[in-house]
């Protein structure tokens, strides 16, 4: 069984990611998981709010890396695979699928949010705050895309957040070790095995433009290959990708 970093649990925080950032900027290095039963100002990707009610999981791993920023960003794929493992443990194999870059969908609806933030240290390394929010008991209703909670697909109650974090943290450590020792290849393979939308038409909404085409798969660095309608190939490294109604 993978040995994961220690877990610090709080009843309430503004945001586990904000707490990790404060600690990192104060010089703390981790690794440590920070979790809270309630978040009052949770954050998602691209500045979106992320609601965490009691019964859901909100956790952030504070850690360090020697990798350059572009490689460190691959940790979001590690987090997605770990969250997918948690979903499989709760709901059965195949219930969860991954949508680029790190959305975890349960029966087609988003059930997990992932936010990776980083900052430079004076020693040249980066601190990383890997935030993961899991809809265990409740799914938000006022969101851009349909959301789901694990509880909707379970005959019994969903796991308590602390128990779910144990499973998540162990899975994360397994994937992180593979990434650290073998590079991105095993992560890309694991992600592709669980991917949804590959080979399908999609719309990629980038900061300055919107592209449409067919998602062909991952490049070795985690970028999404998008075959455009005119036959050209575009590498998508940041943005939101929409497949049909997903």
Domains, the chain, with CATH or none:
7-193 (3.30.930.10), 201-242 (2.30.30.100)
**Distance between the two ends of the chain, CA-based, in angstroms?**
35
Mean pLDDT of the chain: 90
Q: What is the pLDDT at residue 38?
A: 92
Q: Is the peptide bond before 101 cis (omega within 30 degrees of 0)?
A: yes
Exposed e or buried b per residue across 148-165, where buried means at least 16 C-beta atoms within 10 angstroms of its C-beta: bbbbbbeeeebbebeebb
CA distances from 11 to 18, 100, 196, 217 (A): 15, 32, 35, 41
**Element of type H or E holding 164:** helix 161-182
Residue pair 84/98 in contact by the 8 Å Cβ criterion: yes
> Chunked in runs of 10, what are the mean pLDDT values of the chain (246 residues)?
87 94 94 95 57 87 94 95 96 93 90 94 94 93 80 95 97 97 95 91 89 91 92 90 70
* Of residues 145, 71, 160, the one with CA closest to residue 112: 145
Q: Phi then psi for 242, rounded to 5 degrees?
A: -120, 125
Q: What is the pLDDT at residue 1?
A: 53
Q: What is the pLDDT at residue 50?
A: 56
Q: What is the pLDDT at residue 101?
A: 85
Count of Cβ atoms closer than 10 Å to residue 234 Cβ = 16
- For residue 166 the two structure tokens come to 């144990």
The per-residue pLDDT for range 71-100, each reduced to its tens digit, is 999 999 999 999 999 999 999 999 999 999
Q: What is the pLDDT at residue 110?
A: 92
Q: What is the pLDDT at residue 164?
A: 98
- pTM to 2 decimals? 0.89
The rounded distance, in Å, linking the Cα atoms of 205 and 234 is 13
Residue pair 82/172 in contact by the 8 Å Cβ criterion: yes
Q: What is the pLDDT at residue 41?
A: 78
Residues in the chain, overall count: 246
């Amino acid at each position: 069984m993978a040995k994961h970093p220690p877990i610090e649990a709080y009843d309430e925080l503004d945001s586990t990611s904000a707490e990790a950032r404060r600690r990192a900027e104060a010089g703390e290095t981790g690794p440590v998981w920070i979790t809270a039963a309630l978040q009052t100002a949770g954050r998602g990707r691209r500045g979106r709010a992320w609601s965490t009610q009691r019964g859901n999981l909100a956790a952030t791993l504070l850690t360090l890396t020697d990798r350059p920023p572009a490689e460190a960003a691959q940790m979001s794929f590690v987090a997605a695979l770990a969250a997918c493992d948690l979903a499989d443990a709760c709901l059965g194999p195949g219930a969860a699928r991954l949508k680029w870059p790190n959305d975890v969908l349960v029966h087609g609806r988003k059930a997990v949010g992932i936010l990776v933030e980083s900052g430079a240290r004076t020693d040249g390394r980066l601190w990383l705050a890997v935030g993961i929010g899991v809809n265990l008991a409740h799914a938000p209703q006022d969101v851009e895309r349909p959301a789901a909670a694990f509880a909707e697909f379970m005959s019994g109650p969903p796991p308590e957040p602390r128990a779910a974090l144990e499973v998540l943290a162990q899975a994360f450590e397994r994937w992180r070790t593979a990434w650290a020792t073998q590079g991105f290849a095993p992560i890309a393979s694991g992600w592709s095995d669980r991917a949804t939308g590959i080979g399908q038409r999609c719309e990629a909404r980038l900061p300055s433009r919107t592209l449409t085409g067919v998602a062909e798969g991952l490049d070795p660095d985690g970028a999404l290959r998008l075959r455009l309608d005119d036959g050209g190939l575009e590498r998508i490294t940041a943005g939101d990708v929409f497949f049909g109604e997903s």
